[in-house]
Amino acid sequence: MSNAFNQYTGTLRNVLRRIFASPLAGTLNILVIGIALSLPAGMYVLLKNAQILVAQFSGTPQISLFLGVDTKTDDVDNLHKQLAQHPAIARVEFVARAQALEQLKQSTGLSDVIGGLSQNPLPDAFIVHSRQSDAQSLGKLRLELAKLPNVEQAQLDSDWAYKLEALLKFGRLAVLILASLLSLALIAITFNIIRLQILTQRDEIEIAKLIGATNGFIRRPFLYFGAMQGLLGGVMAWLIVAASMLLLNHQLSPLAQLYASQFTLRTLSLGDGVSLLLFSAYLGWLGAWLPVARYLSQIEPR
C-alpha cells in the first residue's frame, strides 16, 4: 500500500516537473486552456445572473381567477381554503369587488365616470401566486384552476413567461454548443502535446515493454499529465471568471444605483466551480488517453 502510494505521488511530482520544465510554455498552455474554458463558463454565469435580474424586475407570475357575480360568501371562503391548500400555489390574495372598483378609480383617473355607474360591474377575484415560474407549469395550473366551482375565468398573462423561457433555452443551447466545440479543441490540443511526448519517448517505451512493463504502467504518466494540465486550466478558468465578475461589478454598481437596485453579478458557485475543475481534468485525461491508446497498439518492442 505504501509502495503504491509512493509510486503515484512520485508520478505526480514528475508530471508537474514536465509541465513546467519550460515555465513559459507550460504557463501559456494552461492559460490557453483557461481562456477557452472561461468562455462557456462566463456565458453560463451571465445567463444565471440574467435570469435572476429578470425575475427581480418582472416579479412572480400571477393567475387571476374571476368569480361569478352571484357567488356567495360561503363559496368564496371554501374556494379560498381550497386554493391555500394547493401544493402548486405559494400565496393567494382575495380582491373583493369594492376593492377592485376603488383600485380601478385610482389607477385610471376616471372616478367621476365610475362613480356614475348604477352598480359595481366588477366580480370578486383571487390573485394566485404559483410556486413554479415556467410557462408549461403555469399553463397547466391555469387550466386546473379554471375548472374549479364558481370560477368563471382564469387569466394568465403568460406571454412574457414564454418569451423568457424561449430566450433562456436559446442561451443554454448556445452555451452547450460553445462548450462542446471548445472541449473538442482542448482534447485536440492535449492529443497533440501527448503525441509529441510519445514520439520523443518512443525508445524508452519500447525498452520498458521489453523488460515487461504493462500498458497501464506506461500509460499512467501521460494520463496524469493530461489530467493535471486540464485541472490547472480549470483553475485558471475559474480565476478568469471570478476576476471578470469583479471588474463588471465595479462598473455595474453606479448603474444599479440609478435604478435604486442592489443587484450584483454572482460568480461561479462552489458546486459549479468544482464541476468545472472535474470537467477540465476529464478533458485533459481524455485528450491524453486517445493518443496513448493509439500508439501503444502500434508500437511493439523490436
What was the pLDDT predicted at 220? Answer: 83
Q: Which of 83, 80, 30 is nearest to 230 (CA)?
A: 30
pLDDT in tens, 64-121: 888 887 788 888 888 888 888 888 888 888 887 666 656 555 555 555 445 555 555 5
- Residues 161 and 134 sit within 8 Å (Cβ to Cβ): yes
Range in 164-178, 202-216, 248-262, 279-293 the model is least confident about: 248-262
**Which residue's entry shows cell 480565476?**
239
Q: What is the pLDDT of residue 242?
A: 92
Q: How far is CA 42 from CA 49, 180, 203, 240, in A?
A: 11, 15, 43, 9
Domains of the chain: 2-57+163-298 (no CATH), 62-157 (3.30.70.3040)
pLDDT confidence of residue 100: 60
Burial (0-12, 13-18, 19+ Cβ within 10 Å), 102: middle
Q: d(Cα 247, Cα 280) in Å, to the nearest integer?
A: 24
- Which tops the pLDDT comparison, 74 or 157? 74
- Give how far Cα 286 sits from Cα of 51, 184, 281, Å: 33, 10, 9
The torsion angles phi and psi of 37, rounded to 5 degrees, stand at -75, -30
Rounded-to-integer distance, Cα 183 and Cα 33, Å = 10
Residue with the bigger pLDDT between 137 and 223: it is 223
CA 138 to CA 158: how far, in whole Å?
A: 8
Which range scores top for mean pLDDT: 47-56, 59-68, 77-86?
A: 77-86
Please compute the mean of the pLDDT values over residues 250-265 and round it to a whole number.
Answer: 71
Secondary-structure percent of the chain, ordered helix, strand, coil, rounded to 5:
75, 10, 20
Give yes or no for a contact between 206 and 302, defined as CB atoms under 8 angstroms apart.
yes
Q: Quote the CA–CA distance of 187 and 203 in Å, as a whole number.
A: 25
